[in-house]
Amino acid sequence: MGKMWVGLFAIALCAGSAFGRPLEKVKNDALTVGIRVGNQPFGYNETSDRKGLEYDLVAAIAEGMGCKGGFRVVTLTSQRDGEEKLLADKIDLVIGTVKASSEVKERFLTSHPYFRTGLGIMVMKSNQNIFTLTDLNDRYVAAAPETNADKLIESFLPRAKLEIVRSSTEALNMLQKGDVEAVVHDRAMLQTAATRNQAFRLLDVSLTEDNYVILVNKKFSSLLDAVNAQIDRLRTVPSAEAVSPLAAICARYKLGATIKPIIKAGTAPVAVPAAGLPAAQVTPPASQTATTPRQNSTQAASSRDLERRMDGVERQLQDIQRSLSEINAALQRLQPSSR
């Protein structure tokens, strides 16, 4: 009986470690990644020539890590679906416009950000009654819980008539049908929709600032380190004038790179290209940019200080942008009465 239990335990252990695995096992096999379907241009679309920004990003990460079998995709219907599969060791990573919230960080390891966005407001172009956040009061507004837009609306706009939806597609369909007057959702996704459909109007405001990250099981910190190293590599350019591999991926989907590049001075990089990108856009080998530990520490501190200062400037610009939008809206509302 004892031998039988030992055998069953060994089988269960092997089965449990088939996907959620330490770094070396991942490298010797294939990186197994849970990717959200839909949510274009980020999510996975198997039937499209361009399968999604996050699909391309994972391909570059797996190639840079040197995974012998590349990577395999497990499609996810929601972030919760991905979290459950990650905790059950069925996948190695979760990617799918996951925001680096405090709740997420309590349960999982989170990568360096690969995209920065915020909540935006979409209305029909024919609607000349909504220009700012406060204009949503007393109006029907669609929002998805996974974006936390519902919480923002409930907290700051108690008079808004909230309609909970499962996806941006459902929300935009309701907007076109006239079931709601506005959609509060991820700004980058709304911008893509507005580009495709000229009947939409995206308000010139960002209600929040959020970073997209990749989730890793807390048991596998070495895997997180490897993923972070690849994200940093994809952000790196040899000079301020160059384009990083991450920026090139964003450009494929008509999105601007919202994460600041890491700029390295020195000779042109000669490393193997990631995901078919030109070699001139890839990080040079460490031997070409060797620095002392003290120099590395000083450079890192300077970089962090510069990023904090630039983030502060960005927030101030957003505040000014919101104020100008509110002034513009007030002037437009006053215009008819002055005639």
Give the torsion through C-alpha atoms of 171, 177, 178, 179, to 10 deg.
-50
The secondary structure of 74-132, three-state, reads: EEECCHHHHHHHHHCCCCCEEEEEEECCHHHHHHCEECCCCEEECEEEEEECCCCCCCC
Q: Which residues contact 318 (CB under 8 A, 6 or more apart)?
A: 206, 209
Judge if 295 and 224 occupy the same domain. Answer: no
Judge if 316 and 171 occupy the same domain. Answer: no
Least confident of 45-59, 145-159, 213-227: 145-159
Q: Give DSSP secondary structure letters for 135-199.
A: GGTTSEEEE-GGGTHHHHHHHH-TTSEEEE-SSHHHHHHHHHHTS-SEEEEEHHHHHHHHHH-TT
Element (H, E) at 285: none
Per-residue pLDDT, 269: 41
Judge if 12 and 111 occupy the same domain. Answer: yes
Is 127's pLDDT higher than 60?
A: yes
Judge if 333 and 186 occupy the same domain. Answer: no
pTM: 0.65
Per-residue pLDDT, 66: 95
Spatial contact of 230 and 59, defined as CB atoms under 8 Å apart: no
Is 89's pLDDT higher than 70?
A: yes
Last residue of a domain, one of 208, 232, 267: 208
pLDDT, averaged across the chain:
79
Token reading at 323: 């104020």
Judge if 110 and 220 occupy the same domain. Answer: yes
Percent of the chain clearing pLDDT 90 (strictly above): 46
Is 249's pLDDT higher than 90?
A: yes
Judge if 101 and 21 occupy the same domain. Answer: yes
Judge if 97 and 143 occupy the same domain. Answer: no
Q: Please confirm whether the linkage preceding 41 is cis (ω < 30° from 0).
A: yes
Judge if 276 and 300 occupy the same domain. Answer: no
Per-residue pLDDT, 233: 96
Domains in the chain, number: 3
Mean pLDDT across the stretch 50-59? Answer: 95
- Residue bearing the bigger pLDDT, 338 or 167: 167
pLDDT in tens, 281-299: 333 333 334 445 455 444 5
Judge if 79 and 126 occupy the same domain. Answer: no
Identify which of 318, 284, 301, 264 has the alpha carbon closest to the alpha carbon of residue 118.
318
Q: What is the CATH number of the domain that holds 134?
A: 3.40.190.10
Q: Give DSSP secondary structure letters for 252-281.
A: HTT----SPPEE--SSPP-SPPSTT--GGG
pLDDT in tens, 156-180: 888 999 999 988 889 999 999 999 9
Range of the domain at 322: 291-339
Last residue of a domain, one of 166, 188, 208: 208
Percent of the chain clearing pLDDT 70 (strictly above): 72
Judge if 196 and 223 occupy the same domain. Answer: no
Per-residue pLDDT, 145: 82
Give the torsion through C-alpha atoms of 111, 113, 118, 119, to 10 deg.
-30
Judge if 219 and 280 occupy the same domain. Answer: yes
Judge if 6 and 145 occupy the same domain. Answer: no
Per-residue pLDDT, 308: 56
Last residue of a domain, one of 208, 226, 247: 208
Determine the Cα–Cα distance for residues 117 and 207; give it in Å rounded to an integer: 10
